[in-house]
Structure 1
Amino acid sequence: MPEHDPRIPADVARASEPSTPRVRKALSDSVYEDIKARVMDHEIAPGARVGIEALARALDVSPTPVREALARLESDGLVVKRSLSGYRATELLTRQGVEELFEMRLLLEPRAAALAARNADESQLDAVEATLEAMQALPGPTGPYVSYRDFAALDQRFHDIVTEAAHRPLLADAVERLHAHLHIFRLSGVQDAGDPTVDEHERVVRAILRRRAERAEAAMAEHLTRSLERQLGRFDEQ
């Protein structure tokens, strides 16, 4: 096999060789996670232009997986594409934005928890319990995005599973479209020591497993209310 020309990006060189969808997907996912981390950690500053060619050079890939990653990040609400100016990182939530986000969540998610207690099938009950256990096994998130990525993903997954278990597709879609956890973690980065999020999740899970709809609704509302208070407290500290 001829020696690789270092002037050619690695993924371009690989494109001339036999490849599999699995290899291409691994590259695409890797580029997506790398750019996502840069946005979450503000290495790409809020509101800043996201240069495709510059990112491709920095990651030693062709522009194609970068464009694919940015399209995924646009659907996540982390970048926005504007005509003539390309992609830019979205701005951080303001205090009012946080309040409005939680206002929507408080309208949707307690109702979803109540419906989940009534309608969840056995596999969904197993899934919500397993997600809670996985969160309990992780240390509290600290440091850059890569260190709390798994916790944030499980946090999001927990709320998604609850809304899916409600068996109301429009409700689940509305909650998913908020991208709440990405925006909140990007804003505040990490949790305080002793953050009670997992304990609050546990109360929701117990109520759902026992098919206690009113208790599940109240536990979710309590969790979201306290989470909002914690977020607003960070604004006060600043």
Structure 2
Amino acid sequence: MPAHDAPVPAADTGTSGQSARPVRQALSDSVYEDVKARIMDHEIAPGARVGIEALARALGVSPTPVREALARLESDGLVVKRSLSGYRATELLTRQGVEELFEMRLLLEPRAAALAACHAEEDELDAIEATLESMQAHPGPAGPYSSYRDFAAMDQRFHDAVARAAHRPLLADAVERLHSHLHIFRLSSVQDAGAPTLDEHERVVRAVLRRRPERAAAAMAEHLTRSLERQLTRFEEE
């Protein structure tokens, strides 16, 4: 066959790389959720060392997505990285830690709700309402993490959405960085907490939608105060 008739390799359009990236991201997300669930359910005990190789073998993956998952979990505050001992699961909040966490939330979130009532745009109001409606369709916190994961994620999303609607980026960033829901839900589920949480969220939403900043701040403060009371019952029972 003449040289000019030889088959010409197809040009590399990069499509294989593009298709590989979503697959790799899906694997990374799956490993992240799996390791997070083990930490939330105390399969990885608070304070315990998190072995990358052992986790990779248990999950049937290479160490790379496990390292990526642990880096994300470190930003969530669920693991800490130490120079000589690697990753360890963070310790559970003590009663004092819970009280301090809610003290911070009470400083930040009522103000965020008041500002949201003043400044939220229509699409932000829609997002807050939609998150509340989604929460109403999911079971509240009870049983293993897998059973209430969606509720917990939407609970966090609700508070983050209110904070973003305040149009104060530093305030919203502070609320998000607390990762309060992960730390609270990790302690253990509080029975029958779903219904009062939804009722309290609904009062916040009504005040924000009606552009009533003082009522929005009061509703958020009431929600956080009652949530703190519910969380402290676990320490009294123990």
Q: What TM-score do the two structures reach when normalised by structure 1?
A: 0.91
In the alignment, the residues of structure 1 paired with residue 193 and residue 170 of structure 2 have an alpha-carbon distance, to the nearest angstrom, of: 36
Show the counterpart of 1:171: 171
* 2:238 paired with 1:204: no
Q: 1:195: Cα distance to partner?
A: 4.1
* Closer, same or farther: CA 107–131 of 1 in aligned 2, 3 Å: same
In the alignment, the residues of structure 1 paired with residue 158 and residue 213 of structure 2 have an alpha-carbon distance, to the nearest angstrom, of: 17
In the alignment, the residues of structure 1 paired with residue 227 and residue 28 of structure 2 have an alpha-carbon distance, to the nearest angstrom, of: 33
Q: What secondary structure, in the 3-state scheme, does the structure 1 residue paired with 2:225 have? A: helix
* 2:158 paired with 1:158: yes
Show the counterpart of 2:61: 61
In the alignment, the residues of structure 2 paired with residue 142 and residue 202 of structure 1 have an alpha-carbon distance, to the nearest angstrom, of: 21
In the alignment, the residues of structure 1 paired with residue 37 and residue 203 of structure 2 have an alpha-carbon distance, to the nearest angstrom, of: 31
* 2:24 paired with 1:24: yes
1:143–1:190 CA contact under 8 A, matched in 2: no
2:128–2:205 CA contact under 8 A, matched in 1: yes
Alignment of 1:1-238 (within 5 A): 20-192=20-192, 195-238=195-238
Q: 1:194: Cα distance to partner?
A: 6.1
2:193–2:230 CA contact under 8 A, matched in 1: no
Q: Structure 1 runs of 4+ off > 3 angstroms?
A: none
1:188–1:231 CA contact under 8 A, matched in 2: no
In the alignment, the residues of structure 1 paired with residue 108 and residue 193 of structure 2 have an alpha-carbon distance, to the nearest angstrom, of: 28
Unaligned runs of 5+ in 2: 1-15
2:135–2:151 CA contact under 8 A, matched in 1: yes
In the alignment, the residues of structure 1 paired with residue 191 and residue 156 of structure 2 have an alpha-carbon distance, to the nearest angstrom, of: 15
Unaligned runs of 5+ in 1: 1-16
1:148–1:190 CA contact under 8 A, matched in 2: no
The superposition leaves residues 65-93 of structure 1 with CA deviations (integer Å, 9 ceiling, x where unpaired) of: 00000000000000000001000000000
The superposition leaves residues 142-191 of structure 1 with CA deviations (integer Å, 9 ceiling, x where unpaired) of: 21111100000000000000000000000001111111000000012344
Q: 1:26: Cα distance to partner?
A: 0.4
Q: What TM-score do the two structures reach when normalised by structure 2?
A: 0.91
Q: Which moved more, 1:131-140 or 1:48-57?
A: 131-140
Q: What secondary structure, in the 3-state scheme, does the structure 1 residue paired with 2:192 have? A: coil
Greater C-alpha Rg: 2
Q: 1:141: Cα distance to partner?
A: 2.9
The superposition leaves residues 33-90 of structure 1 with CA deviations (integer Å, 9 ceiling, x where unpaired) of: 0000000000000000000000000000000000000000000000000001000000
In the alignment, the residues of structure 2 paired with residue 142 and residue 234 of structure 1 have an alpha-carbon distance, to the nearest angstrom, of: 14
2:139–2:194 CA contact under 8 A, matched in 1: no
The superposition leaves residues 3-55 of structure 1 with CA deviations (integer Å, 9 ceiling, x where unpaired) of: xxxxxxxxxxxxxx975111000000000000000000000000000000000
What fraction of aligned residue pairs are identical, expressed as a percent? 85
- Counterpart code for 1:119: H
